[in-house]
């Protein structure tokens, strides 16, 4: 029976229960919890240092009003990185390859930034729809274009994350299949292909982290325009 390469992106079921809920909940169990001791172990120390560095880098261009989002954005980035990395393990499922889940993250957070801008500074928020110095005949066209680009932002966030992870998983599966097919016929070519597969896996680890960072970074840029 032939199995489609896209079957790996179908949400797994067990006794009719979708396991995507477990895949989303599992990352939070893996994180070490800080203890009440004065001196923490190395893992908690490194985790705290990385989170502090990322928080400082992310909140640097934002004013004090945007710093309220620090906990949400950092938690989202750590969550996305963990899900993406766990999805690279064999016999696992990557929830972030589902466009519905990524849109569920992107749309509410993007909408929150727009609502904050409309509530706190409506003139500045609406001013983004019309660049300064625009000729009068082009005003209606530019307003329509900027409005469309504004509503495309959450779609671009979700599609970018989904497409990058899906393409990487497909490429890994294709090359892995080629290795198993070539191994009995041409062992030398199979070994070279396996080397490419190993390098591609390292690249996918980097992509898993970078895409989570880009997702949160773009959200912070949208927030910067509205606070």
Number of domains in the chain: 1
Identify the pLDDT of residue 7.
66
Residues of the chain with pLDDT under 70: 1-9, 34-35
Q: Return d(Cα 15, Cα 19) in angstroms, integer.
A: 10
Which pLDDT score, from 0 to 100, does residue 1 have?
37
Query: What pLDDT, on the 0 to 100 scale, is given for residue 205?
Result: 92
Confidence at residue 192, expressed as pLDDT on a 0 to 100 scale: 92
Please give the residue range of the domain that contains residue 158: 1-223
Q: What is the pTM of this model?
A: 0.84
């Amino acid at each position: 029976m032939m199995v489609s390469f896209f079957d790996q992106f179908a949400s797994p079921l067990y006794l009719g229960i979708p396991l995507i809920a477990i895949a989303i909940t599992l990352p939070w169990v893996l994180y070490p919890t800080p203890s009440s001791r004065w001196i923490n172990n190395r893992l908690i120390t490194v985790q705290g240092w990385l989170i502090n560095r990322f928080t400082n880098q992310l909140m640097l261009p934002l004013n004090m009003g945007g710093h309220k989002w620090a906990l949400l954005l950092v938690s989202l980035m750590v969550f996305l990185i963990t899900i993406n990395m766990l999805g690279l393990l064999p016999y696992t499922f990557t929830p972030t390859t589902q466009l519905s889940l990524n849109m569920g993250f992107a749309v509410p957070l993007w909408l929150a930034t727009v609502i904050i801008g409309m509530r706190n500074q409506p003139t500045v928020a609406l001013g983004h729809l019309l660049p300064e110095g625009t000729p009068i005949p082009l005003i209606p066209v530019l307003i329509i274009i900027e409005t469309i680009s504004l509503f495309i932002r959450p779609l671009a966030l979700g599609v970018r994350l989904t497409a990058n992870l899906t393409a990487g998983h497909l490429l890994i599966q294709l090359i892995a299949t080629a290795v198993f097919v070539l191994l009995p016929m041409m062992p030398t070519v199979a070994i070279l292909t396996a080397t490419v597969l190993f390098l591609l896996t390292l690249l996918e680890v980097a992509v898993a982290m970078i895409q989570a960072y880009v997702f949160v970074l773009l959200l912070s840029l949208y927030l910067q325009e509205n606070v």
